[in-house]
Amino acid sequence: MASSRYLRRAAPPFVPLTLVAGAKAGAKHRQLYNQIRGHVLSGRLAGGVRLPATRSLARDLGCSRNTVLSAYDLLLAEGYLAGSRGSGTYVSRLLPDPFMALAAGVEAAGPKSHGGGSATLSARGRALAKIGFRPRGPVGAFMLGPDVSQVPFDVWGRILGAAWRRPVPALPHSGDPAGYRPLREAIAEYLRATRALSCDWRQVMITSGAQQALDLVARALLDPGDAVWCEDPGYAGLRGPLIAAGARLVQIPVDDQGLSVAEGRDRAPKARLAVVAPSHQFPLGVVMSLGRRLELLNWARSAGAWILEDDYDSEYRYAGRPLAALQGLEADSGDGAGRVIYAGTFSKVMFPSLRLGYLVVPKDLIEPLTQVRAALDDHPSAVVQPVLAAFIAEGHFSAHVRRMRRHYAARQEALLEAARRWLDGKLLLSPDEAGLHLVARLTPALGRRMSDTQAAARAAGAGVAVSALSGYAVEAQCDPGLLLGYAAVQEDAIEDSVIRLAKALDG
Amino acid sequence: MASSRYLRRAAPPFVPLTLVAGAKAGAKHRQLYNQIRGHVLSGRLAGGVRLPATRSLARDLGCSRNTVLSAYDLLLAEGYLAGSRGSGTYVSRLLPDPFMALAAGVEAAGPKSHGGGSATLSARGRALAKIGFRPRGPVGAFMLGPDVSQVPFDVWGRILGAAWRRPVPALPHSGDPAGYRPLREAIAEYLRATRALSCDWRQVMITSGAQQALDLVARALLDPGDAVWCEDPGYAGLRGPLIAAGARLVQIPVDDQGLSVAEGRDRAPKARLAVVAPSHQFPLGVVMSLGRRLELLNWARSAGAWILEDDYDSEYRYAGRPLAALQGLEADSGDGAGRVIYAGTFSKVMFPSLRLGYLVVPKDLIEPLTQVRAALDDHPSAVVQPVLAAFIAEGHFSAHVRRMRRHYAARQEALLEAARRWLDGKLLLSPDEAGLHLVARLTPALGRRMSDTQAAARAAGAGVAVSALSGYAVEAQCDPGLLLGYAAVQEDAIEDSVIRLAKALDG
């Protein structure tokens, strides 16, 4: 039953108040509260206007006096109404009038007064938004990334649960901005053994991945306007932090020995930072030669610049010895004033949504970078760190890497074999000693019929996810090619996907 | 048995090579590898110099030929040596000469050529490092922060383990940059019910806490040089992201109604952002009045500015109704073009090292902020999000909040009681309807004897951790006071700590 009454008081303005019975409408006192509040905010009930006595209003609305009392009490507590039951209740005079005018619909002047759309972002915000985040595509051939189906989650989940059912007493409390010591120790040991890095645990800082690592390094070591060497073609994900830091990105071409230091010296000799992936360039797969590594270190020393070594998939090497990291080479070959900052990640070995990585920083940067980290993002979450530390210490991590390395090597071989059989005349695939993807070059014949972007679109139409190599280039002119990730595809599904790809590329 | 031989070849330079037997020295081929490598890098073995035949060197060193073969193979693979066993092995000519000069000790010119110390940070880096991260002090009275000992970790750990032993198939894959949908839905529902926020799940973005939230907002919405209103005194943790974004921090005083909008209009009328904690100002505890809230919204609308509402401990309200968030007030009272960005955290309710928080953003900012987030830090870790979603959905979260609210209310009462009994004449404590700490004002008598900083130092000397109110002020002149966190202190330990504090403050 609806009862609708207008306030019968003579003092204007009259305001409509309606109470509706029934569970759906909610408690009556709350309905009354909401309506009076709305009238106050809209200006219909102006400051100083006196409200009816609770008994009168209750009679008018056909509800209990308690309903009105409850509504008035709430409004008094929050400041919409003032006064007291004894001396009368009125709309608070402390509410600003100009607000009422606005609320009644008067538009405010000013260029940025309307929300809406990306026009509201700052110039920096627009540049960042433009980088073009693409939602993850469907899972399947030939998406980039690891095979997460083989991660021993039974073990992982068991350790995770055990670590938190009865956590070590210090664990829930705020931690070290550089991260949980046992994990830092486990990482330092692992890197010394497998990558010939020169480091102790204090040089290890835990991050959420390469982007956060670069974000931290860029803001701590660069000022707006400082130049940075970026591999071209390269990994677009690293551009955001550099742009956000106000850096001047200088694209440096990559040849068969890696980033061209000669070009870098030519285009930006006074750059403050070079971001490179010397173990396995992305996307081309080039391994930076020893000579080029020494040239790069040479330049960094003479320029007083830093090098961020992005080592994103170094666990997966199928032939040959793993090359020592650039960081380790530096330590062995010079005066020891470290210029190389090493960034690694667990995303490719564990799973992408883990979001855990690490930096290995030169000793003189430990303290400053820790301070900057703390100023920007406190400390890394403690939930996963002890679990990963145990996972590594108990040998599950190494076992998983070894197991996946065998799978991935076999999948690469299967892809090469299927390519030889089905993609002849269209795509040329070469083996890669490392990584989780191959670069397939368009043959001249195919290249005359379509660009690599068009080839990728055709493949997508056939349900095969490949990325165009040209999409990774900013200024560089690459021979057209496609990236085929093979790690996440079951071996026996590879040939079928290659056949579908071949058909999609037919004339 | 050590065998030490010089290369007997006539061609200079002669280089020392020593092989040492015994497990501690490591495999001989590795010793030889390391030494030859070192000589190449130091320049003692120059490019082009021919190395002895393996048989000769083995004879000279008194080791097996295989030892030398293994060492040479490694050096060849890595590029230190070139040639082949048939045609002779020599030091690679591709290694850059200037590097050799450096490695031999020639100093490089240039102002930034030496690593070391915070002189290597950029100007921005130095400003950030100066913010002054302080390592967490000892746990105990009267540190700020929640009581983590009561978190139901048995339940938390159980859900965590269960979620990851057999994860939902999509979970290990890269996720939405805005976060895991079920958690976003749970948060939206919780906020609508408890804080009168106006939002649906799409407006919720998962963060690692208030700093990352502000970091994202500042970089997306501000350009370097833009002014930002900051409460003074205020929470220092929020300065880092603003400084890093190049913002101009404008300190705005706080009175008994909250941040002074009049002062803000006076000092920086065209500011682009105001960072406020209207529900419970930190550190003063002031609740922003309704009139002041509407003034602030009024200014933001007319200036086209944003408001970041930092709602860091709103679950803990002991008296009175929880005030509707500023964000909700805005939605109910105007044209709907949201200027308020709401930031919340689970740190105070769950535990500080969880590092999980959220933003509620105006609808027109969802897409742009998601893009910017993806450009800077991909997506939030998936490990904890589903667990927290379940924890909330199963009612454990609300139950924990209710339980802790009772404990904290009792602890505040115990602190007030003990203060009345023991701190008379020294500190004046007033009740606070909300939060996890009280502000204790120095009496004039005590204030004549010491500053609040000195009082805090004395307390620390007696093993009582309090912070000086003046430490939170940048320009504002606060009456001297101390912050006493009571949440993390057991009720029966409060009086003893107060007695120790009183003694420490004796003349």
3-state SS track over A352-416:
HHHCCEEEECCHHHHHHHHHHHHHHHCCCCCCCHHHHHHHHHCCHHHHHHHHHHHHHHHHHHHHH
The answer to whether residue A11 scores a pLDDT higher than 50 is no
Q: Contact A395/A474 with Cβ under 8 angstroms?
A: no
pLDDT at A357: 97
CA distance B507 to chain A (A): 35
The answer to whether residue A113 scores a pLDDT higher than 60 is no
Give the C-alpha separation, A253 to A261, whole Å: 9
The residue to which tokens 């009720």 are assigned: B491
pLDDT at B359: 97
Cis peptide before A142 (omega within 30 of 0): yes
Give the C-alpha separation, A1 to A18, whole Å: 11
Q: Contact B397/B349 with Cβ under 8 angstroms?
A: yes
CA distance A444 to chain B (A): 33
What is the 8-class DSSP label of residue A153? H
Q: Contact B436/B408 with Cβ under 8 angstroms?
A: yes
Choose among A121, A133, A294: nearest Cβ to B221. Answer: A121
The residue to which tokens 């993850």 are assigned: A136
Give the confidence band of A150 by pLDDT, cuts at 50, 70, 90.
very high
Beta-carbon neighbour count of residue A225 at 10 Å?
Answer: 9
User: Is the CB of A160 inside 8 Å of chain B's CB atoms?
Assistant: yes
Mean pLDDT, residues A131-158: 85
Tens of pLDDT, residue by residue over B384-432, are 999 999 999 999 999 999 999 999 999 999 999 999 999 999 999 999 9
CB contact under 8 A, B157 and A162: yes
Choose among A244, A302, A304: nearest Cβ to B219. Answer: A244
CA distance A379 to chain B (A): 8
Give every residue of chain B whose pLDDT is below 50, as ranges: 1-13, 98-118
Structure tokens at B161: 């383990």
What is the 8-class DSSP label of residue B22? S
Q: Contact B250/B267 with Cβ under 8 angstroms?
A: yes
| Long-range pairs of A245-249 with CB within 8 A, sequence gap ≥ 24 | A245/A215, A245/A218, A245/A219, A246/A124, A246/A222, A246/B224, A246/B246, A247/A218, A247/A222, A247/A273, A249/A474
What are the beta bridge partners of residue A90? A50, A82
Question: For chain A, which domains are there?
Answer: 3-120 (1.10.10.10), 152-394 (3.40.640.10), 399-506 (3.90.1150.10)
Interface contacts A/B by beta carbons within 8 Å:
404
Q: Tell me which of B33, B160, B329, B361 to substitute to probe the interface with A (most A C-beta atoms closer than 10 Å).
A: B160
pLDDT at A422: 97
* Chain B CB contacts of A240 below 8 Å: 374-376
User: Is the CB of A165 inside 8 Å of chain B's CB atoms?
Assistant: yes
Q: What is the mean pLDDT of chain A?
A: 87
Lowest model confidence (mean pLDDT) among A46-55, A65-74, B177-186, B428-437: A46-55
CB contact under 8 A, A173 and B148: yes
pLDDT at A329: 84
ipTM reported for the complex, 2 dp: 0.85
User: Is the CB of B76 inside 8 Å of chain A's CB atoms?
Assistant: no
Lowest model confidence (mean pLDDT) among A226-240, A287-301, A321-335: A321-335
Structure tokens at A424: 């002849």
The answer to whether residue A100 scores a pLDDT higher than 60 is no
Counting Cα atoms < 13 Å in the Cβ hemisphere of B299 gives 23
| Long-range pairs of B32-37 with CB within 8 A, sequence gap ≥ 24 | B32/B61, B32/B63, B32/B67, B32/B68, B32/B71, B33/B70, B33/B71, B33/B74, B33/B75, B36/B71, B36/B75, B36/B80, B36/B81, B37/A332, B37/B75, B37/B80
Q: Contact A277/A311 with Cβ under 8 angstroms?
A: yes
* Chain A CB contacts of B220 below 8 Å: 121-122, 124-125, 128-129
* Chain A CB contacts of B92 below 8 Å: 290-291
Give the confidence band of A469 by pLDDT, cuts at 50, 70, 90.
very high
Helices B366-377 and A210-221: crossing angle in degrees, nearest 10, is 80
Give the C-alpha separation, A162 to A171, whole Å: 13
Tens of pLDDT, residue by residue over A394-408, are 999 999 999 999 999
User: Is the CB of A156 inside 8 Å of chain B's CB atoms?
Assistant: yes
Give the C-alpha separation, A43 to A23, whole Å: 30
pLDDT at B278: 94
* Chain B CB contacts of A355 below 8 Å: 378-382
User: Is the CB of B94 inside 8 Å of chain A's CB atoms?
Assistant: yes
Choose among B103, B164, B356: nearest Cβ to A153. Answer: B164
What is the 8-class DSSP label of residue B287? P
Decide the pairing of beta strands A306-311 and A273-276.
parallel
CA distance B192 to chain A (A): 15
pLDDT at A295: 94
pLDDT at B116: 39
User: Is the CB of A158 inside 8 Å of chain B's CB atoms?
Assistant: yes
Residue B50 CA: distances (Å) to CA of B9, B39, B70? 10, 13, 17
* Chain A CB contacts of B334 below 8 Å: 102-103
Decide the pairing of beta strands A357-360 and A340-345.
antiparallel
pLDDT at A6: 37
Tens of pLDDT, residue by residue over B436-474, are 999 999 999 999 999 999 999 999 999 999 999 999 999
Residue A124 CA: distances (Å) to CA of A128, A251, B154, B368, B381? 6, 20, 45, 12, 25
CA distance B178 to chain A (A): 11
Give the C-alpha separation, B407 to B490, whole Å: 9
Mean pLDDT, residues A409-431: 96
Helix (H) or strand (E) holding B483: strand B481-485
CA distance A298 to chain B (A): 6
User: Is the CB of A123 inside 8 Å of chain B's CB atoms?
Assistant: yes
Mean pLDDT, residues A321-348: 81
Tens of pLDDT, residue by residue over A272-320, are 999 999 999 999 999 999 999 999 999 999 999 999 999 987 788 887 6
Q: Contact B253/B279 with Cβ under 8 angstroms?
A: no
- Angular region, B365: left φ>0, alpha ψ -120 to 50, beta rest: alpha
CB contact under 8 A, B295 and A103: no
Mean pLDDT, residues A166-187: 95
Give the confidence band of A116 by pLDDT, cuts at 50, 70, 90.
very low
Structure tokens at B441: 């004002």
